[in-house]
Amino acid sequence: MGDNTSYVLASQKRNRSDDFDGADAKKLMVQGEADPAAALASARHEFGEHGGVNMSIEASATFTVMEPETMRRMFAGELGPDRDFFIYSRHFNPTVLNLSRLMAALEGTEAAYCTASGMSAIAAVLLQLCSHGGHVVASRTLYGGTHALLSHFLPRTCQISTSFVEVTDLEMVDAAIVEGKTKVLYFESVSNPTLTVANIPELCHVAHRKGVTVVVDNTFAPMVLSPARLGADVVVHSISKFISGGADIIAGAVCGRAELVNAMMDLQQGAIMLLGPTMNAKVAFELSERIPHLGLRMKEHSERALEFARRLKNVGLRVIYPGLEDHPQHQLLKSIHNKEYGYGGLICVDMETEERANRFMSHLQNHGQFGFMAVSLGYYETLMSCSGSSTSSELTSEEKHLAGISPGLVRMSIGYIGTFEQKWSQLHKALATLHDCAYKS
């Protein structure tokens, strides 16, 4: 490479950083918008290297500099990704950073960064916010992996202890917070699998009064709920679910203040930087192409879930769906959700016993072609699982009972493939077969 080329590259780099003035800074901060779709549309649009409408993938693990001094300044934290200076892709990567900006826009936070999985986002943020011996107050109804992390892994490895509480009981939450010791209040916006809706503004109020950081897992309700816009400090996601939508990628994100995200990238103290749950740039590109239609998908998931919930209830099944009037937090959700995206894409049907739940799912899959027996959610096909014996099996029977997880609870992530009436007729037929079997046996 000749000196000339070097000069051009160097000046381009300098120009770009000089260009970074107030206007760009404002663009990065545009996430003040109240509607997630509006915020996404006004987030910075990155073009490709050759003028492509899509960004180029920055697949490099490492980044070159023109002057050795630049390297020193990058490591000293004087030059960073905000001015287009990158060191190494376990630290900031341009393509992952672009997806992260979209995540920040979606959740209305100042910053965000994406990780290799939802669990790594959750673990990293808890380790960042809690020191050895710290205390967490958490909902007793959590994703099984998070529950295990809090009840087994963190106590053993870091003596971080957790008091599990009923999040719908604000007094219980308040009483569990130990001022000065409790670092984090952790809950899911819509809980897995019971679909309990958290009163985010009230819970934030209780926690903030005592200086506690509120971390909300919004995996079940992207677009539908915006926890940070309702007062939460940090929003974590398993991108593997609705945001991906393809059931083909494992990914996560931490959305919060720039100070937190930068702390998580700190060369000496950062949980993402030092534990290294890095997202690959190619994966980040793939995901950033799916975020623009997340809103459309969520609307369809929610609309169909509501109609299925109504009809299943009408045929006499015990249905749990926050969009139904009889759901204990229906009015709450109605008052805090982003109206256009409905009440979410998950419904639960309580079949009372595991045996009946299994028969129900098996009929729906094998006689009705209605959906698949599989864990996870947010796919275009309907996915069904019996929570007690699968994704919540980490909980003891007592914990499951307290969390309200009946042994026959079938969680259904409603897909949007096919026509609605086609899917309903498959469901209806499978139910009729199930009914006949029940009478024969």
User: Which C-beta is closer to ligand PLP: that of 24 or that of 166?
Assistant: 166
Q: Applying CB under 6 A, which of residues 36, 118, 323, 388 lies at the interface with ligand PLP?
A: 118
DSSP code at position 229: G
- Distance between CA 220 and CA 241 in Å, rounded? 8
Q: How far is the CB of 217 from ligand PLP (least distance, A)?
A: 5
- Of 214, 295, 216, 252, the C-alpha closest to 96 is 252
Helix (H) or strand (E) holding 254: strand 252-256
Angle formed by the axes of helices 354-366 and 420-440, nearest 10°: 130
User: Which C-beta is closer to ligand PLP: that of 143 or that of 379?
Assistant: 143
Q: How far is the CB of 175 from ligand PLP (least distance, A)?
A: 25
Q: How far is CA 213 from CA 183, 253, 270, 404, in A?
A: 6, 17, 18, 26
User: Which C-beta is closer to ligand PLP: that of 74 or that of 122?
Assistant: 122
Q: Applying CB under 6 A, which of residues 134, 252, 322, 388 lies at the interface with ligand PLP?
A: 252
Binders of ligand PLP among residues 400 to 419 (CB under 6 A) are: none
x/- mask, ligand PLP, residues 207-246, rule CB under 6 A, reads ----------x-xx-----------------x-xx-----
Query: Segment contacting ligand PLP (CB under 6 A): 141-149, 307-315, 396-404, 409-417?
Result: 141-149
DSSP assignment of 25-88, as one string? Answer: HHHHTGGG-SSHHHHHHTSPPPPPTTS-SSPPP---SB---SSHHHHHHHHTTSS-GGGT---B
Q: How far is the CB of 219 from ligand PLP (least distance, A)?
A: 4
DSSP assignment of 277-342, as one string? Answer: -BPPHHHHHHHHTTGGGHHHHHHHHHHHHHHHHHHHHHTT-EEE-TTSTTSTTHHHHHHHS-GGGT
Q: Applying CB under 6 A, which of residues 55, 106, 119, 348 lies at the interface with ligand PLP?
A: 119
DSSP assignment of 106-148, as one string? Answer: HHT-SEEEEES-HHHHHHHHHHHH--TT-EEEEESS--HHHHH
User: Which C-beta is closer to ligand PLP: that of 87 or that of 123?
Assistant: 123
Q: Applying CB under 6 A, which of residues 86, 143, 285, 416 lies at the interface with ligand PLP?
A: 143
x/- mask, ligand PLP, residues 273-302, rule CB under 6 A, reads ------------------------------
Q: Applying CB under 6 A, which of residues 58, 107, 188, 303 lies at the interface with ligand PLP?
A: 188
Q: Which residue's beta carbon is nearest to the bound ligand PLP?
A: 118
- Binding residues for ligand PLP, rule: CB under 6 A, are 117-119, 143, 145-146, 188, 192, 217, 219-220, 238, 240-241, 250, 252
